[in-house]
Structure 1
């Protein structure tokens, strides 16, 4: 199966974290997200977020006990938003195409929200999920979907029968590594050419696990 062409039929998704603004906690999250998205984690201080929302420096602590809890909530909300987007690719009945669609969404997330991406996937965090135990326990809303698509491909006979969690981690590491190299200036490609290369490379990896 040739996966070298980008999935033209799939509309490119622009991530937006779903944050209603009905409550004070929601307004705090929206303000913190805007700061994080524009300037990175260092910009998110309790005092600055409180000022942006119109709260006193102490009132914000009634909603989030500390900065770490606020950042953890932002990360969790981002994971959930990504999972909703990835789940929307379920209409792709071919598991191979679904895998590529989800991994393209991963690229979209990295390019659209680089600060959130780095915090979620590239920096040490005490609350980070760890392979294999947390993932095998299905604590990752995103990698669950990758592993499920792989398991479906194995059931259909289009992928060799292997450990779906090991293969899911292989694909995630491959995708993340390419993105890190691109963002680190190791490709001369523009974004369009890199996207084509990225999808083709992941397609070759998936094809390598065909029977």
Structure 2
């Protein structure tokens, strides 16, 4: 196995700091020290902190998308939607700081609904829309705009996660997970035939 490249080592160190302490803890100087670089050497690989944080967000989207895509073709469209939304919850709870940065904070480069999503620029929402289209083509879901339905599901899931993380549920994680999956299932069933 070859050693990790310097940019990969920088990303791994930044990811670990971000995951543990949040975006505010990620400084170019601190990441450089973690990797064993001089404070100025890190700038050869990332022009500034914003570029490093943007890359971490992009990597977060890609990680979530890979997990969601792993569910493609497995089970019914309803089962796939529940599995993908379950993965979304897993990611949010395992990586709360990265989740907030990727999905919950204003960013200049954030995708906008509907145009960016309809142009299939969202690696995370594309598999949701695809499962909805498949469900409609098999007669399991009523005919509707797949992107509107995908956004309905995502907004519902995201809202439940945000409420849970804000302490608005008295449930422990296991009980919240059961509620979350049942609730998203009810929403999916609302557009079933």
Short-chain TM bin: over 0.9
SS at structure 2 position matched to 1:90? coil
- CA contact 2:72–2:127 (8 Å) conserved in 1: no
Deviation (angstroms), 1:21: 5.6
- CA contact 1:147–1:164 (8 Å) conserved in 2: yes
Alignment-derived partner of residue 95 in structure 2: 113
Structure 1 residue 100 corresponds to structure 2 residue 82: yes
**TM-score, normalised via structure 2 length:** 0.97
- CA contact 1:21–1:27 (8 Å) conserved in 2: no
SS at structure 2 position matched to 1:124? coil
- Going by fraction, where is helix more abundant, 1 or 2? 2
Structure 1 residue 122 corresponds to structure 2 residue 104: yes
SS at structure 2 position matched to 1:104? helix
Alignment-derived partner of residue 36 in structure 2: 54
Structure 1 residue 201 corresponds to structure 2 residue 183: yes
Find the aligned partners of 1:139 and 1:91 in 2 and give their Cα distance.
21
SS at structure 2 position matched to 1:210? coil
Find the aligned partners of 1:61 and 1:210 in 2 and give their Cα distance.
52
Alignment-derived partner of residue 79 in structure 1: 61
Find the aligned partners of 2:174 and 2:125 in 1 and give their Cα distance.
25
Question: Unmatched 5+ residue regions in structure 2?
Answer: none
- CA contact 1:21–1:30 (8 Å) conserved in 2: no
**TM-score, normalised via structure 1 length:** 0.89
Q: Deviations over 1:112-138 (max 9, x none)?
A: 000000000111111111101111111
CA RMSD of aligned residues (A): 1.0
Find the aligned partners of 1:197 and 1:21 in 2 and give their Cα distance.
44
Deviation (angstroms), 1:91: 4.1
Segments of 4+ moved more than 3 angstroms: none
Find the aligned partners of 1:123 and 1:21 in 2 and give their Cα distance.
34
Alignment-derived partner of residue 188 in structure 1: 170
2:49 to 67, 70, 74: 67
